[in-house]
A and B are shown apart, each in its own frame.
Chain A
Amino acid sequence: MSPTSTTVKTLTIDGVQVSAKEGETILEVARQNNIHIPTLCHLEGLSATGQCRLCMVEINGNSRLALACITTVNEGMVVVTQNKLIDKYRRMIVELLFSERNHICAVCVSNGHCELQSTAQQLGVTHITFLYLHPMFALDGSHPRFEVDHNRCILCSRCVRVCDEIEGAHTRDLRNRGSKSLIITDFDTPWGQSQTCTNCGKCVQVCPTGALAEKGKSVAEMSKRRQFLPYLVTRRGGNQT
């Protein structure tokens, strides 16, 4: 074997033979080859946590599904990104998200720019099987430029990760647990009074829904700008995923 620095692996994704560098995840390789795998918590440049479960794929016919965002490639792997069961699970997960909080697209600042919305469309979610839980969460509009609406939050933790890993402030974290979890600022102080927030707005830009938004935006006006993320990750000399 020649002493190369990286080992190349070949594998099959949805019947297509592809090559990959050792250590790459299935999701990365799939995206390089224009194979779409839905995700909501994953964002290139942030650490992968595997919590939305949407990127589940079948590997080598194994009944236990694996996550594309954290599973690294192996030589000869046979990956199936879509079948009847996986589609059903993905649709149910998205339906569960819609049932959990108050996702009403028609009045949302992110209507048309929302990843939850577009994922639902791609997966063909036309109605919600489950009972809506209709929680009542307060809004925090104490920050001069941004606001947080927990009713639209899907608890993907992207804002927590970007604030910790990219901005280095770790202003955001979670409180409570289960369905009562809430994204908080510092020790649950109003955002406007935060001692650690640098007002950079990265959390707003990575948020997949309208939960974090810029103030002054009306319905469907809040599109997210994430150009900073690949730039900062490249400048630091590595992909963190």
Chain B
Amino acid sequence: MTNEELQAIAEKEQAEQSKYRHRIHVCAGTGCVSSRSEDVLATFQDEIKARNLQDTVQVKRTGCMGMCAAGPLVTNQPDDLLYKEMTPELVPAILDSLDGEPYAEKLMDTQAPFFTCQEKSVLELAGIVDPERVEDYIAKNGYIALVRVLNDLSPAEVIQQLMVSGLRGRGGAGYPTGLKWSTVAKADGAKPKFVTCNADEGDPGAFMNRSILEGDPHRVLEGMAIAAYAIGAAQGYIYVRAEYPLAIKRLRIAIRQAEKLGFLGQNICNTNFNFKIDLRLGAGAFVCGEETALINSLEGNRGMPRPRPPYPAQSGLWESPTLVNNVETFANIPGIISKGGEWFARLGTKTSKGTKVFALTGKVANTGLIEVPMGITLREIIFDIGGGIPDGHKFKAVQTGGPSGGCIPESYLDTPVDYESLKQLGSMMGSGGMIVIDDTSDMVDVARYFMQFSMEESCGKCIPCRVGTVQMYNLLGKFQAKEATEKDLKILEDLCDLVCNASLCGLGQTAPNPIISTLRYFREEYTQKLKKSDKVEEVVS
């Protein structure tokens, strides 16, 4: 595949698409599919055939459009009309309105803050391209970055672009991606190297990676291929959880199409670069999102973490140098390469560049998938984009980073979102789950919910995490039953300290964060639940 051949495919597809006066996109992300968007799509197809509109109206499935709360979503291009809550019964009405006034009843305001405050980069094609057709991706400048890298850039220049971009790992910890790549690139060359994509997204309320894979799988493949070129790998693995059947199906299709066009396989784009990607399905363990446990699982062993060092960059998969990056990190690569590191670094804060995808869930009006520039405040995300708290309730806290993160109260809502500031508040960026909590929730319940999750997902290898999470869960139960004493509170805090500092892997080290942060900001909700007699004693003494 040369640049000219790529252009030819792109132009053919663009010409094909511009033939239609109307292009109807039906969201086929998991959220919309579960509310019958497949039926909407089929009805559109039947109805278009019945009305003999095949030559003027195109209908296709796309990835997630973001506003999941109002799904199934349908857009009409090029007029840029967005319809919410579509049903098969509404299809004739939409088709009737094509050349006249839009169908007002289900029309959404695309100038609302939900859309205008976002900055789409990773998700720029989700909702635009058909994830099951590589030509559609190529028509939108897909695979240009890979062809450019293979023809014009040396591996060192690729890594240099990443360094300039300031991209940091999107899986949560925020390790500089360029640094990680250069470490693997410089690692012992005697052994084969591997590129691994971590798609084992398991936080409750998080669906960023799933939506990227479902909406634009080729972007991730392209990012991985560029990574393989930069570090000198010939084999890649995508470790995706088996609970994401639609993402798996689309990845399989995408890999097959990319192989057919020569973006994966032997002698890619007529160079001596070879790269193959295989899928590996996770068997449902949250800890396998931790990179060393993921590597163990990839090798066919029980998914348990290994102590680091050695880091996977030196000794990972089958003791070879291994690059492990999150889906979103890889999805950022094609943009950085084709538009340049400076372009990427134009957005964000001093330490955190670019955009970040968040899954906005919980007690917020606009539940959905959003992409915002780093440095935006939590208040803008929740009240402008999210539309605030529904049903007249009051905002209480926002939980970021899933079971590893913490709850941030109202007083810190004006904090700009970046890796450091969230950490300072006792939470973390995490992979991008954001759960809004209103005044109907009790913070001890919230902490216990996350502790139950960590307890059930603890692999059992190290003692602090294995037993500590059970003890913390039980102690929180005592608070709920109003049977806890001052001593229990002290034990709880000691356990948080131990589990944070003595656990083997990231799961244990961050598991107490929901408790620590709620104790920090909502301590009175714990002390109110102390046993009555104990409180009296305290007053007397």
- A65-B501, A70-B307, A129-B491 known; A93 vs B474 contact (CB < 8 Å): no
In the complex, A84 has a CB within 8 A of chain B: no
In the complex, B464 has a CB within 8 A of chain A: yes
| Interface residues contributed by chain B, number (CB under 8 Å) | 30
Using Cβ atoms and an 8 Å threshold, which residues of chain B touch A50?
A: 307, 462, 504
Bound together, the chains give a CA A67 to CA B494 distance in angstroms of 20
- A70-B307, A133-B470, A178-B469 known; A52 vs B457 contact (CB < 8 Å): no
In the complex, A213 has a CB within 8 A of chain B: no
In the complex, B486 has a CB within 8 A of chain A: no
In the complex, B285 has a CB within 8 A of chain A: yes
| Interface residues contributed by chain A, number (CB under 8 Å) | 32
In the complex, A197 has a CB within 8 A of chain B: no
In the complex, A131 has a CB within 8 A of chain B: yes
Bound together, the chains give a CA A178 to CA B461 distance in angstroms of 7
Bound together, the chains give a CA A155 to CA B502 distance in angstroms of 17
In the complex, B471 has a CB within 8 A of chain A: yes
Residue of B whose beta carbon sits closest to that of A100:
B467
In the complex, how many angstroms separate the beta carbon of A127 from the nearest chain B beta carbon?
A: 13
Residue of B whose beta carbon sits closest to that of A53:
B502
In the complex, how many angstroms separate the beta carbon of B362 from the nearest chain A beta carbon?
A: 26
Q: Is the pair A96, B463 in contact by a Cβ cutoff of 8 Å?
A: yes
Q: Is the pair B466, A181 in contact by a Cβ cutoff of 8 Å?
A: yes
Bound together, the chains give a CA A157 to CA B495 distance in angstroms of 24
Residue of A whose beta carbon sits closest to that of B459:
A177
In the complex, A17 has a CB within 8 A of chain B: no
Q: Is the pair B471, A96 in contact by a Cβ cutoff of 8 Å?
A: yes
Q: Is the pair A178, B459 in contact by a Cβ cutoff of 8 Å?
A: yes
Q: Is the pair B460, A131 in contact by a Cβ cutoff of 8 Å?
A: no
- A65-B501, A130-B471 known; A178 vs B466 contact (CB < 8 Å): yes
In the complex, how many angstroms separate the beta carbon of B262 from the nearest chain A beta carbon?
A: 42
Residue of A whose beta carbon sits closest to that of B472:
A130
Q: Is the pair B464, A155 in contact by a Cβ cutoff of 8 Å?
A: no
Contact string, A48-87, partner B, CB cutoff 8 A, digits 1/0? 0111110010000000110100100000000000000000
In the complex, B468 has a CB within 8 A of chain A: yes
With beta carbons under 8 angstroms apart, the residue of A53, A92, A97, A177 that contacts B285 is A177
Q: Is the pair A155, B460 in contact by a Cβ cutoff of 8 Å?
A: yes
Using Cβ atoms and an 8 Å threshold, which residues of chain A touch B117?
A: none
With beta carbons under 8 angstroms apart, the residue of A93, A100, A174 that contacts B498 is A93
Inter-chain pairs besides A53-B504, A174-B302, A179-B458, 16 sampled, C-beta below 8 Å? A50-B307, A50-B462, A50-B504, A51-B504, A92-B495, A93-B498, A96-B464, A96-B471, A99-B467, A133-B474, A154-B463, A176-B460, A177-B287, A178-B457, A180-B460, A181-B460
Per CB-CB distance, the 7 closest pairs between chain A and chain B, nearest first, are A181-B460, A50-B307, A96-B467, A178-B458, A100-B467, A178-B460, A51-B461
